[in-house]
Amino acid sequence: MVVLVTGSSGQLGQSLQFIAPNYPQIDFVFCDSKTLDITSLENCETIFSNYKPDFCINAAAYTAVDKAENEPEKAFATNVTGAKNLAEVSKKFDTILLHISTDFVFDGNKKTPYLEQDLPNPTGVYGQTKLDGEKAIQQVLEKHFIIRTSWVYSQFGNNFMKTMLRLASEKDTISVVNDQIGSPTNAVDLAEIVIKLVTEHSKLSRSFGTEHFYGIYNFSNEGQCSWYDFAKKIFEINNISINLLPIPTSSFPTPAKRPSFSVLDKTKIKKVFGIEINNWDNSIEIHKDN
């Protein structure tokens, strides 16, 4: 089985590379942005034609949430045109596309965890382009999975945990917002579920029927917290003593508005794939050294 991974130098891409040795039955083809620029249909066609992948995991994205407000064309190119290109070549080469999307497709006005079928209403350019990317895939390709996830962190790439650890080495006091609620997702846990979709695909598509099987799934670690709670846990497990102050979002203005509540309901993915999901505060300890 050939599995092509785009955006292989990002957090999810590196997490997939980290777990790949556990799956010797899979021939992974890891492509970074230089080898495969998903905004180029021609580039996508060449790579697909060379490797004829059974699955394509799209870990490539424009993820600079605030920067996107000032360069919407760049965000659109990767998150919409790129997603559409991959859907088109996947259709041509009979490849199943696993695409990653985000909690930022929602406005955060709900008070209970978001279901896959809840109405999206992004509040910024990044969320809008991710939503448009989902739609572009849905329009072109039946055989797709879209996994919406949230607050991704890992030892790889740039993320909130790394930022907190860096700030702690530079400052005595750090202020973190405590009125945005979500669920951290360890990128290695996300990588494992993505590979589970790949390895269990044929068995499960027979039991569920493809009509009810493909489509959108939510995935994050279990539980919920604020960014402040998340920061507190990061410092606790790293034995860092620091003056951590909870602040409201209004005291930390950012170019892009974030959803104040973006917890995702994981009932569907747990039921279809028969999985249990680690609680976020458990997962951060489990993956502390990888």
Ligand X SMILES: NC(=O)c1ccc[n+]([C@@H]2O[C@H](COP(=O)([O-])OP(=O)(O)OC[C@H]3O[C@@H](n4cnc5c(N)ncnc54)[C@H](OP(=O)(O)O)[C@@H]3O)[C@@H](O)[C@H]2O)c1
Enumerate binding residues for ligand X (CB under 6 A): 6-7, 9-13, 32-33, 36-39, 59-63, 78, 82, 100, 102-103, 130, 149-152, 157, 159
Q: How far is the CB of 214 from ligand X (least distance, A)?
A: 18
User: ∠ CA 89-156-216 to the nearest 5 degrees?
Assistant: 40
- Find the shortest distance in angstroms from Cβ 187 to ligand X: 6
CB closer to ligand X out of 70 and 210:
70
CB of 206 to ligand X, least distance (A): 29
Return the residue matching tokens 């999810």. Answer: 12
Determine the straight-line distance between the first and last CA of the chain, rounded to whole angstroms. 26
6/95 with CB nearer ligand X:
6
Q: What phi and psi, each to the nearest 5 degrees, are found at residue 196? A: -60, -40
Is 217 an annotated catalytic residue?
A: no
Burial class (CB in 10 A: 0-12, 13-18, 19+), 22: exposed
Q: Which of 62, 114, 126, 153 is catalytic?
A: 126
Half-sphere exposure of residue 53: CA atoms within 13 angstroms, side-chain side: 29
Q: How far is the CB of 211 from ligand X (least distance, A)?
A: 25
Q: Could you tell me the CA-to-CA distances from 240 to 73, 86, 171, 185 in Å, in that order? A: 40, 43, 12, 22
Q: Which is nearer to ligand X, 152 or 269 (CB)?
A: 152
* CA 26/CA 201 separation, integer angstroms: 13
Name the minimum Å distance from CB 207 to ligand X. Answer: 28
> Could you give the count of Cα atoms lying within 13 Å of 86 in the half-sphere of its Cβ?
37
Specify the residue, 78 or 178, whose C-beta has the smaller distance to ligand X. Answer: 78
Based on CB atoms, which residue is closest to ligand X, 202 or 214?
A: 214
CA angle 44, 11, 13 (to 5 degrees): 35
Catalytic residue numbers, as ranges: 126
